[in-house]
Amino acid sequence: MKILKSQIVKIKKGKNLKVVSPTNIYGAQFGNNCFVGPFTEIQKNVKIGDNTKIQSHSFICELVNIGKNCFIGHGVVFINDAFKDSKPANGKKSKWLKTKINSNVYIGSNSTILPISICSNVVIGAGSVVTKNITKPGKYAGNPAKKIK
Q: Decide if 105 contacts 118 (C-beta within 8 A).
A: yes
User: What letters, b where the CB count within 10 A reaches 16 and e where it falls short, cover 88-122?
Assistant: ebeeeeeebeebbbbbbbbbbbbbbbbbbebbeeb
C-alpha separations of 50 from 75, 78, 103 in Å? 21, 19, 9
pLDDT digits 0-9 by tens, 93-107: 777 889 999 999 999
Q: Map out the domains of the chain as residue ranges.
A: 8-82+94-147
Give the fold, CATH level 3, of 8-82+94-147.
UDP N-Acetylglucosamine Acyltransferase; domain 1 (2.160.10)
pLDDT digits 0-9 by tens, 135-147: 999 999 999 999 9
